[in-house]
Structure 1
Amino acid sequence: MTTIPERSPQQYDVGGLMLPRPFKIRRLGHLGLNMERLDEAITFYCDALGFRVTDQLDVLSQVPEEARPFVKDILTDPRLTFTTHNSDHHALVLAHKTFGTLWGNDRKVKDITFSQLTFQVGSLQEVVEAEAYLKERGVEIGHYGRDMPGSNWEIYAYDPDDNMIELYYGIEQIGWQRKSKPYGMHYRGLMDVMPSLPQMSEAAEVREALAKGIDIDSGHHPSEEHLDETYVVGGVLLPRPFKVTGVGPVSLFTERMDEMIAFYTGMLGFEVVEEVELHGRRIVYFRTGTEHHTFALADKALRGILGLSEHTSCLSIGLQVGSYTQLRDTAKYLMDRGYTLVHGLPQEIYVGIDYAVHLKDPDGHLVCLYYYMEQIGWDGKPRPRSERRDMVLPWPETLEPVSDTYGGTAYLGPLG
């Protein structure tokens, strides 16, 4: 007879599995950046890299009239621009740098330019229970509820460096019509109200909106008429010779390495995959799924050594493209349009990735474009360093596959 051990009081039922937390992070969902050069940033991420605008919100329209003079004094530009590369309502949110001041992103230090780092959990119940779990353990909570636009149920909390971390369940999906939910459906949003359970389904929300007479086809539709589809990408005509198929990983500089490791592993449940040393300083890689890493932490002393922007604690933002051929074509495409690539960066800052293209966005955030991410198997161990691919210059036209080539999550939906 099998003896069932007594359950630890630190175990929680998450979908029928007993876990040490009442939630399980599944993936990096999206990020937000506060930009000094907002218009240039929108052009860079949308026209150059292929994101599309799904919604644009005027923050002033969302605050009570009596608070608008205060908000106007802080904000240089009140726009929140939501963009995506897939069917998620947003993968990258762009706002003016003064939005960080309004929202409190830079309340302690001025080099936090992320407005949020957002991780997806598996259910609305996990979001609700995460709020109580984190609060009981002394984690400072920002706000919670349901954000509009995007329709994602969420809780925001601060990490030890004061980065805003969002845990969310579900996000509005935008289909073949490329239309977001209309503003009239935003009545289902909640600000600083933890939802009672259960909540109605998305299908029920649509039925309710129709019953209210809301035109569900009146949402934002991106203007893409200026884009010429002249490049053949995997048999499809696209405006660029590549397609961004994934956002992440994100790498951050920190001066509180041990505190940050404890927070992300102990509080949020990430696993340390690998640690490397560069110029005598630590870089630590974390995962939550099968990819080598979801994000990384690097000693902030490396920022100056690497010659990266002193204005941001962001080391790099990863963007995955669909193939090695696309990555080669990406480099040429960007250089032909006057963008300067960053060469000579050490492999230690992008372990688990082999060939990569680096460049800086208009505010100096380092963007890492790549095609391959090492996959972690059932035993949780990364590939030995001696068995990783050696990169050579000039880049070869084709590569021999490795055991986990094209082994990650497939891109869902058509390329364009």
Structure 2
Amino acid sequence: MSGKVARLGHVGIAVEDIDRSVAFYTEVLGMRLTEMFRYDESTVGHGSAVLAGAFVRGWEDTIHHRLSIFTLRDANPEKPSARSLGLHHIAFEMDSSDDLLTLYRRFKEREVPIVNARIGGPGNQPRFYGLDPDGNLLEFYYKIDHVGWDGIPRPYPAIQEIELEDFDFEAYDEQREKQAEAERARRLQTQPSS
């Protein structure tokens, strides 16, 4: 099929204070600033609504940006809310459970608001949610489930809150693999024989 989307490229957010947000995303989350500039006031493109933009990427990422951060020309933009239409949250994948815990602890040390930590539900990934300086909901996760060759997601438990500091990642991984094996065996038994 032509014209299909290959992958999500980046997310753009509007913030109140671009310097504060760049500091948060680079100093707290460890992302890298690619570039930042002011837009000329124009009647086309971003310049008609956006005053300045900053473009950040992952630490080892060579893609120009994964997140676009903008300040708007309108001095009174509406604040985001988890119960409003538009952007709901931005999710960031971590390379390891240690990275997830390190970031969780950094949020606590810097008194960055943490909403909660969870397992279960679609994707079944250990994760925590926090807020950026403008109240945007952010998710940080490790080891999200992959869809199998049959295109069917494997079963998952209901969403439940956890204390990430006490969470046993290794036991959780073992449990997930056992559940996946049991589901594979069940599907093989229920498949009609040729």
TM-score by length of 2: 0.47
Select the structure with the greater relative contact order (CA < 8 A; seq sep ≥ 6): 2
User: What TM-score results when the alignment is normalised by the length of structure 1?
Assistant: 0.24
